[in-house]
Chain A
Amino acid sequence: MINLEPEVISQAQRGDTEAFTQMVEAYQRPVFNLCYRMLGDPEDAEDAAQETFLRVYDHLKRYDQERSFSTWLLSIAAHYCIDQLRKRRLTFISMDTYPNLPIPDAKPGPEASFHLHEDQRRVQSLLSSLNPQDRAAVVMYYWYDFSYEEIAGSLNLSVSAIKSRLHRARLSLAQTWTEQEAKKYSAERKRHESPAI
């Protein structure tokens, strides 16, 4: 995780726009990644990341320098995404509807690119099987190496609640994976079956 100089944060707190821009530049990737893992759509993730930075801009004076800045920032992003997911929870999104994320720097061959898109799609499909708060806990734990305490602080939950949510999420992810593998296997078997049979 990026650690921005405390001086830059202090300058931004005093209203220095250049320092704030430096902050946006430094944290855009982790914030976007969290939003993308939470929402599963690059456009929604972009909007959520932009909104997160606007909220940070409005409330930066309330930030306590004793806390980790990245934890505070990502907790704002996570809360915004949880709210967005709750708003759209009645909308069903199938695995095939996840738009492809543009692959940033590398220029992989078509096969590697296909596999990467497939992996991204599978991850989003797995994450979408979790409820918003469990999803946020999983993303913070597995992508940002947050401790149980940090996740608890970010999501306003107790440490024991986070442990139990993570356990429940692991179980759910493993079960979803097993189901998906079974479906994949049966689809492949059907494709190779002779039409006469």
Chain B
Amino acid sequence: MNHLPYKEWLLSEASLSTEQNNALQEHLRSCETCRQIEPAWADVQVLFKKIPSAEPLTGFTMRWQTQLAKHRLKKQRKLAWLILSIIAGIAAILITLLGLHFIDAVNSPGNLILLWISRLTGLLSIYLRLENFVNSISVYIPSISWLLMIFGTGIISFMSVLWLATYRKLTVVRRLV
């Protein structure tokens, strides 16, 4: 026997048309299985409505606050480990590079000394060019402007530090426990 539309109609929340209702009643007269579904579903609905909502034991919020404190600590530890791992990784890379450099130095110390001398002379030439540049523009800028620039830079730096400290104080969440 085909129960498909009848089972659907029996459990449907939409109202049935007269034709559908007649067909359903006709089917129910001959089908024991479908006849059992309707009262069973009605009983289940009654049971669902009868039972009260489940409630947690008192002190749920307090327990949650304790959980939150543990959770934060766990997160902080996780972050610390992550930072530590990154630092360790960078240190490992640097040590490896230094090791490779050391091997080069052992193999050909002359080349390495020449390389470092050329680097130092390069840095020295950059410094000398900068000095020339500053000397040339200092002729055109009055000394009061230099003082103002230094003073302004100092103020901006101080304000930045102050802003960072205030921002940190305002955004870091207070500990609960």
Instruction: Output the least CB separation between B117 and chain A (Å).
Output: 55
Q: Does B44 count as interface, using CB distance less than 8 angstroms? A: yes
B15-23, B63-71, B101-109: which lies at the interface: B63-71
Q: Does A92 count as interface, using CB distance less than 8 angstroms? A: no
Q: Does B126 count as interface, using CB distance less than 8 angstroms? A: no
- A174, B65: Cβ atoms under 8 Å? no
- A126, B44: Cβ atoms under 8 Å? yes
A170-190, CB under 8 A of B: which get 1 and which 0? Answer: 110111011001000000000
Instruction: Name the residue in B7, B56, B67 with the highest tally of chain A Cβ atoms < 10 Å from its Cβ.
Output: B56
- A17, B47: Cβ atoms under 8 Å? no
Instruction: Output the least CB separation between B133 and chain A (Å).
Output: 48
Query: Which one of A17, A45, A54 lies within 8 Å of B173 (CB-CB)?
Result: A17
Q: Does A104 count as interface, using CB distance less than 8 angstroms? A: yes
B68 neighbours in A (Cβ, 8 Å): 54, 57
Query: Which one of B12, B48, B71, B171 lies within 8 Å of A123 (CB-CB)?
Result: B48
Query: Which one of A30, A102, A177 lies within 8 Å of B40 (CB-CB)?
Result: A177
Q: Does A167 count as interface, using CB distance less than 8 angstroms? A: yes
- B64, A53: Cβ atoms under 8 Å? yes
- B60, A32: Cβ atoms under 8 Å? yes
A20-28, A61-69, A71-79: which lies at the interface: A20-28
Q: Does B166 count as interface, using CB distance less than 8 angstroms? A: no
- Smallest CB-CB separation from A105: which chain B residue? B55
- A116, B44: Cβ atoms under 8 Å? no
- B43, A177: Cβ atoms under 8 Å? yes
B64 neighbours in A (Cβ, 8 Å): 21, 24, 28, 50, 53-54
B67 neighbours in A (Cβ, 8 Å): 50, 53-54
- A119, B55: Cβ atoms under 8 Å? no
**Taking A50-B64, A123-B48 as contacts, is the C-beta distance between A32 and B40 under 8 angstroms?**
no
B41 neighbours in A (Cβ, 8 Å): 170, 173-174, 177
- B54, A171: Cβ atoms under 8 Å? no
B109-129, CB under 8 A of A: which get 1 and which 0? Answer: 000000000000000000000
Q: How many A-B residue pairs have CB under 8 A?
A: 98
Q: How far is it, in angstroms, between the C-alpha of A37 and the C-alpha of B52 when the chains are bound?
A: 11
- Smallest CB-CB separation from B7: which chain A residue? A171
**Taking A170-B41, A175-B37 as contacts, is the C-beta distance between A21 and B53 under 8 angstroms?**
no
- A49, B11: Cβ atoms under 8 Å? no
- B40, A181: Cβ atoms under 8 Å? yes
- B11, A32: Cβ atoms under 8 Å? no
Q: How far is it, in angstroms, between the C-alpha of A177 and the C-alpha of B68 when the chains are bound?
A: 41
Instruction: Output the least CB separation between A168 and chain B (Å).
Output: 9
Q: Does B50 count as interface, using CB distance less than 8 angstroms? A: yes
Q: Does B176 count as interface, using CB distance less than 8 angstroms? A: yes
Q: Does B2 count as interface, using CB distance less than 8 angstroms? A: no
Beyond A50-B63, A122-B47, A167-B12, 18 extra complex contacts between A and B, CB < 8 Å: A15-B171, A17-B173, A28-B64, A32-B55, A33-B55, A46-B63, A50-B64, A54-B64, A57-B68, A116-B51, A119-B51, A126-B47, A142-B45, A143-B48, A143-B53, A173-B41, A174-B11, A174-B37
Q: List 23 A-B contacts (CB under 8 A).
A: A15-B171, A15-B173, A17-B173, A21-B61, A25-B61, A29-B55, A30-B53, A33-B53, A42-B54, A49-B56, A54-B64, A54-B68, A104-B52, A119-B51, A143-B53, A167-B12, A170-B11, A174-B37, A174-B41, A174-B44, A175-B37, A177-B44, A178-B36
